[in-house]
Amino acid sequence: MSTTFTLDTSTSRANPTPAPMKRLTIPAIQSHKQKGVTAQPLVMLTAYTARMAQLLDPHCDMLLVGDSLGQVIYGLPSTVPVTVDMMCAHGAAVVRGSYHSVVVVDLPFGSYEASPEQAFATASRILKETGCAAVKMEGGEVMADTVRFLAQRGIPVMGHVGLTPQAVNALGGYGARGKSQAEHDKIMRDAKAIEEAGAFATVVEGVLEPIAKAVTAVSDIPIIGIGASVDCDGQVLVIDDMLGMFERVPRFVKRYESLAEIVSKAVETYAGEVRSRSFPTGDQTYQPK
Ligand code: KIV
C-alpha cells in the first residue's frame, strides 16, 4: 500500500468520494472482541508526526498520540510537563498523516483529573482541534465517573491502568505493578470500573503477566497490553522504542530495528563528505543550460 500522503476527504462533499477507504471506527475496534474472545489481536503504535503516521497507518488498527511525546519528542524528564497544546499539535499532525487507523490522543497530566467537566472541556477541545476519534486517560476507579461523563456525551474513552506514568511522582518509578495482593486486586478493580463506566478499550501497562491475563479474561472490552501479556486483546509500543531510537529501553520492548545506529552512520558519512568537499556533487547541483 502506498504511503504517499492522501488527503482524507471522505467526509467532504467531493464527488466521487476519493479512494482510499473510510477510517476504522470505535465500534469496529470493539467488535474485535466477541463474547470475551479476540480472534485477531489489535495493533496499536504511538505516532507523533504526520510522516510517521503515514508509515504506520497501513499496518495498524489504532495510532496513539501518547503523552510519551514529552520524553520522545521534547526530551522532557517525564510526561508530567506535557501540555494540551502539545497534544493538539501532534494529534492534528497524526490525523493528517493517516486515513485508516483510529487515532487516540492522550489527555495530559493536569488537564482532566480535577472534575468530569474539566475532562470534557479538554477532551472536546482535543477532538475539535485534531480530528481524532477518542481520548485516553490514566486512572482506574477514581476516574470512573469522569469516563462515564465523557462516554455519555459522545466522547470515546480509552482507559489506562496498571503502571500509569503520569503518577510517577506518587509511584516512585516505572517498575512493574501488581507485586502485592493489594496491588493485584486494585488493578483488577480499576479495569472493571473503567469498563463499567463506558470505556471502549483499556491499556494495561507494566503489570505481572497473570494480572494482564486475568484482566483480559474478565473484560468484555479490548485490553491493549504494553509490558503485559501476549494474551491481551492487542498490543501497543512506543514507536521510537521498537525502532531502536534510544539506547535504553524498558525490558518489555522488543527492538525491531536499530534506527539510532542507522541515523548516526548516515550523519557521520554526510559530515565527512561536507568537510572533505565531496558533497554536493554534480548530481546535486544546478548547472546553467
Ligand atoms: O503515552 C504513551 O505512549 C502511552 C503508551 C505507552 C500506552 O500511554
Is-catalytic flag, 205?
Answer: yes
Among 117, 141, 195, 205, which one carries the catalytic annotation? 205
The answer to whether the beta carbons of residues 102 and 61 sit under 8 Å apart is: yes
CA-to-CA separations, 65 to 70, 93, 102, 262, in angstroms, rounded: 11, 10, 11, 25
pTM listed for this prediction: 0.93
Distance of CA 175 to the CA centre of its chain: 20
CB 68 less than 6 A from any atom of ligand 1:
yes
**Closest ligand 1 atom to the C-alpha of 224?**
7
Distance 196 CA to ligand 1 centre (A): 22
Q: Which of 42, 46, 71 to mutate to test the pocket of ligand 1 (most atoms within 8 A of CB)?
A: 46
Q: Say if domain 3-242 classifies as CATH 2.130.10.10.
A: no
Q: Which of 103, 136, 239 to mutate to test the pocket of ligand 1 (most atoms within 8 A of CB)?
A: 136
**For residue 249, what pLDDT is reported?**
87
CB 195 less than 6 A from any atom of ligand 1:
no
**Residue 65 to residue 131: CA distance in whole angstroms:** 12
CB 122 less than 6 A from any atom of ligand 1:
no
Q: What angle do CA 219, 222, 106 make, to 5 degrees?
A: 115
**Residue 177 to residue 179: CA distance in whole angstroms:** 6
Q: Which of 111, 203, 252 to mutate to test the pocket of ligand 1 (most atoms within 8 A of CB)?
A: 203
Name the DSSP letter for residue 21.
P
**For residue 6, what pLDDT is reported?**
47
CB 241 less than 6 A from any atom of ligand 1:
no
Residuewise pLDDT in 10s, the chain (289 residues): 444 444 555 555 555 544 455 789 999 999 999 999 999 999 999 999 999 999 999 999 999 999 999 999 999 999 999 999 999 999 999 999 999 999 999 999 999 999 999 999 999 999 999 999 999 999 999 999 999 999 999 999 999 999 999 999 999 999 999 999 999 999 999 999 999 999 999 999 999 999 999 999 999 999 999 999 999 999 999 999 999 999 988 999 999 999 999 999 999 999 999 999 999 999 999 999 8
Amino acid present at 78: S
**For residue 12, what pLDDT is reported?**
52
Nearest CA to ligand 1 atom 4: 66
Domain boundaries along the sequence of the chain: 3-242
Distance 282 CA to ligand 1 centre (A): 46
Cell numbers for 171, please give them: 509511584
CB 86 less than 6 A from any atom of ligand 1:
no
CB neighbour burial string for 191-201, b if at least 16 within 10 angstroms, e if fewer: bbbbbebbbbb
